[in-house]
Amino acid sequence: MSKLLRPALVAGFLACTALAGTAWAQAPVMNLNPPTDAVVGRVEGTEIRRSEVITVMEGLPEQYRSLPPAYLFDLVLSQMIDRKLMATAAEKANIGEDPVVKKRVAEARERALQEVYVGREVEKGMTEEKLRDAYKKMIADNPAGEEIRARHILVATEDEAKGLVAELKKGTDFATLAKTKSTGPSAATGGDLGFFKKEDMVPEFTEAAFALKPGAYTETPVKSQFGWHVIKLEERRTAPPPEFEASKDELRQQVARDTITAMVEKLRSNAKVEQFDMDGNPRPEQPKKQ
């Protein structure tokens, strides 16, 4: 372990600048799940086990977890050793009896209790039935709107766009023209933008596209921040609702929020809660929710 890296770990926990070099590129592959939870470090007789290091590694931001596992394991273990050395020194200095330390320990315990309690309540409430109910509510609260499928040809000037309209009036195929003339990223697919809703495009483009009938194109070029457009409407449809499986992440978040809200309301209804103004004067007691 580089002596230059370790202070950076203590100060900034795997700071990007300390890890920006390429020295770790040849780090060996490491099995992070051996059959036993081995002791990987020892500080003044206190053991550090592999599982403890892995837990810290898994909680790191993505940019750190993408480092070679063996290299990252070594960095994290080294920092854990340094932290235990500092904690041991603090214990020997009897800092554990300091009121500031006791207050922080109490706060940390309270946070841990809250997080574990809430996590378990959310896990209990995360049933398939509740996810399905949340899905039904999401669909009901977001009624299907209209969406269209359109093509467009994007050019730099109004004169170019007018020239395209003239070619279309002569019978030139829109998709063919888009492939050869459009400067937009959809040129390769004949200007096809797929299906989109009104809010998906800039206002001037949306207004012109949604005003067309299927098969028609804008005979007056449309200007936007991207340039000049000639737009053709292919078809309209009612937007299909999102599928249940594709919405599961969002649904889990909603069920978690609902579970926590209900839990807090229940706790408040069964407890005496006093809340005061900033100057410490009491507020009128709030009636409990039934």
Nearest CA to 150 out of 197, 102, 110 is that of: 197
Nearest CA to 152 out of 190, 188, 180 is that of: 190
> Are 233 and 151 found together in one domain?
yes
Give a yes or no: residue 190 inside a domain.
yes
3-state secondary structure 198-260: HHHCCHHHHHHHHCCCCCCECCCCEEECCEEEEEEEEEEEECCCCCCHHHHHHHHHHHHHHHH
User: What gap in Å lies between CA 176 and CA 179, rounded to an integer?
Assistant: 5
Instruction: Write down the mean pLDDT value for the chain.
Output: 87
> Are 88 and 151 found together in one domain?
no
Question: Between the CA of residue 77 and those of 7, 57, 106, what are the distances in Å?
Answer: 14, 9, 27
pLDDT score for 24? 37
The 3-state DSSP class for residue 290 equals coil
> Tokens 């449809």 belong to which residue?
237
Give a yes or no: residue 121 inside a domain.
no
**Token output for 280:** 């410490």
The 3-state DSSP class for residue 194 equals strand
Give a yes or no: residue 15 inside a domain.
yes
pLDDT score for 254? 95
User: What gap in Å lies between CA 244 and CA 120, rounded to an integer?
Assistant: 24
The 3-state DSSP class for residue 265 equals helix
Give a yes or no: residue 244 inside a domain.
no
**Token output for 92:** 């020997």
pLDDT score for 64? 86
Q: Which domain holds residue 171?
A: 146-238
Question: Do 46 and 66 touch, CB atoms closer than 8 A?
Answer: no
Give a yes or no: residue 172 inside a domain.
yes
Last residue of a domain, one of 195, 210, 238: 238
Q: What is the pLDDT of residues 229-283, one digit of tens each?
A: 999 999 999 988 889 999 999 999 999 999 999 999 999 999 988 889 888 888 7
pLDDT score for 33? 62
* Structural domain count, the chain: 2
Last residue of a domain, one of 51, 73, 93: 93
Give a yes or no: residue 61 inside a domain.
yes
What CATH number does the domain containing 199 carry?
3.10.50.40
Give a yes or no: residue 277 inside a domain.
no
List 139's β-bridge partners, or say none. Answer: none
CB atoms within 10 A of CB 119: 11
Give a yes or no: residue 114 inside a domain.
no
Regions in the chain scoring below 70 on pLDDT: 1-35, 285-290
**Token output for 146:** 């209209």
